[in-house]
Amino acid sequence: MSPDLLETRLTDRQSSIAGRARGIAFGIDIGGTGIKGAPVDLATGLFCEPRRTVATPSPATPQAVARAAAELRAGFDGLASVPVGVTVPAVVRKRIVRTAANIDPSWIGIDGQSLFDEAFGTPVALLNDADAAGLAEVTRGAAQGEPGVVFVVTLGTGIGSALFVDGRLVPNTELGHLRIDGFDCCPWASAAALTRDNLSWADWVSRVQEYLAFAESLIWPDLIVIGGGISAEAERFLPLLQLDAPVVRARMGNDSGIIGAAYEAHAAALR
Ligand code: BGC
């Protein structure tokens, strides 16, 4: 190993040790319209500073998005040493981005891990956005300490899913893309469908009911947690859902991706 690389590795290691000692990690959530980030106090799951948002570059090519995310992070002072986690709305398996349902198709097949490591100049934890949202709920939110099978669903532009067995994530489940009668549920029952298809609230709820009942018939969760921005209006639709498992509102709302990314960064720094 060259002396320069050795020095970089040592600096990375010292950084992550310093971040851990402070009990803070930085989370970044990449979405179709905005990139949001904030430092998270790992003991409480709360932001140490208000989150900041920048517009997702257009076109949202991997390089442009990674650069914007790194700049967002660099705008926070005094946090250079804390671990960083980043979410993408896509499957990330063994460093590689495998899907691009609501992002630029040029993401498919790229080495997302190297892309973000290089943009940030330090190793980052890279994961699916719904998996991150689920991690936040299981670690500090509505499913904290919940045994058995927990199904976290995020209703937004698409439908994200995160599946946990005794608190352990089964990554990249993509259960938002279950098909009913040959049609992908992801656009059909997402929160975006409400306005896109000009639906009444009752019509949208019946789509969500059909989607969740179908998912339930396949995985039989012990608890269903509903997240995404629309969960702020949970009282308007959760009481109408008729499912076998209890259904609860996510507690971290739209911040769950950032918070889960921070917890994943922390876990990755310990590995
Ligand atoms: C993607 C998922 C993502 C979800 C929420 C879906 O279209 O396939 O990977 O988690 O949207 O952003």
Give CATH for domain 3-132+255-270. 3.30.420.40
Distances (CA, A) of 132 to 102, 117, 252: 17, 18, 11
User: 206: buried, middle or exposed (CB in 10 Å: 19+, 13-18, 0-12)?
Assistant: middle
List the residue whose alpha carbon is closest to atom 4 of ligand 1: 160
CA 205 to CA 246: how far, in whole Å? 17
Residue 106: which pLDDT band, with cuts at 50, 70 and 90? very high
Rounded average pLDDT over 152-176: 97
How remote is the CA of residue 128 from the centroid of ligand 1, in Å? Answer: 8
Which residues does 117 contact at the CB level (< 8 Å), separation at least 6? 123, 124
pLDDT at 1: 38
Of the residues 129, 152, 153, which should be mutated to test ligand 1's pocket, given the most ligand atoms within 8 Å of the CB?
Answer: 129
How remote is the CA of residue 22 from the centroid of ligand 1, in Å? Answer: 32
Rounded average pLDDT over 88-109: 96
List the residue whose alpha carbon is closest to atom 12 of ligand 1: 89
How remote is the CA of residue 18 from the centroid of ligand 1, in Å? Answer: 33
Does 102 or 140 have the greater pLDDT score?
A: 140
Whether 214 contacts 181, CB under 8 Å: no
pLDDT at 22: 67
Q: What H or E segment, with its residue span, contains residue 207?
A: helix 201-219
CA 60 to CA 101: how far, in whole Å? 13
pLDDT in tens, 187-229: 999 999 999 999 999 999 999 999 999 999 999 999 999 999 9
Whether 37 contacts 52, CB under 8 Å: yes
Instruction: Tell me the domain boundaries of the chain.
Output: 3-132+255-270, 145-251
Atom of ligand 1 nearest to the CA of 176: 6
Residues having CB within 6 Å of any atom of ligand 1: 89-91, 99, 101-102, 128-130, 154, 156, 158, 160, 174, 176, 186
Local structure of residue 59 (DSSP, 8 states): S
The mean of the pLDDT values for the chain is 92
Of the residues 29, 128, 163, which should be mutated to test ligand 1's pocket, given the most ligand atoms within 8 Å of the CB?
Answer: 128
CA 68 to CA 84: how far, in whole Å? 14
Whether 69 contacts 124, CB under 8 Å: no
**Around Cβ 126, how many Cβ atoms within 10 Å?**
27
Rounded average pLDDT over 149-177: 98
pLDDT at 271: 87
Q: Is the pLDDT score of 15 beyond 90?
A: no
Sort strands 52-55 and 179-180 into parallel, antiparallel or unpaired: unpaired
Q: Range with the lowest mean pLDDT among 18-27, 52-61, 204-213, 250-259?
A: 18-27
Which residues does 72 contact at the CB level (< 8 Å), separation at least 6? 28, 35, 37, 52, 54
Q: Is the pLDDT score of 166 beyond 80?
A: yes
Instruction: For residue 68, report the phi and psi dihedrals to the nearest 5 degrees.
Output: -65, -40
Is there a common fold for 3-132+255-270 and 145-251? yes
Name the nearest CA neighbour of 247 among 174, 151, 159: 151
CA 271 to CA 265: how far, in whole Å? 10
Residue 6: which pLDDT band, with cuts at 50, 70 and 90? very low
Residue 72: which pLDDT band, with cuts at 50, 70 and 90? very high
Q: What H or E segment, with its residue span, contains residue 68?
A: helix 62-74
Residue 3: which pLDDT band, with cuts at 50, 70 and 90? very low
- In sequence order, the β-bridge partners of residue 225 are 152, 248
Tell me the three-class secondary structure of 141-182, residue by residue: CCCCCCCCEEEEEEECCCEEEEEEECCEEECCCCHHHCEECC
Q: Is the pLDDT score of 126 beyond 60?
A: yes
Token output for 147 = 């045994």
How remote is the CA of residue 9 from the centroid of ligand 1, in Å? Answer: 33
The domain 145-251 having CATH identifier 3.30.420.40: the answer here is yes
How remote is the CA of residue 110 from the centroid of ligand 1, in Å? Answer: 17
How remote is the CA of residue 34 from the centroid of ligand 1, in Å? Answer: 15
- Which percentage of the chain shows pLDDT scores above 70? 92
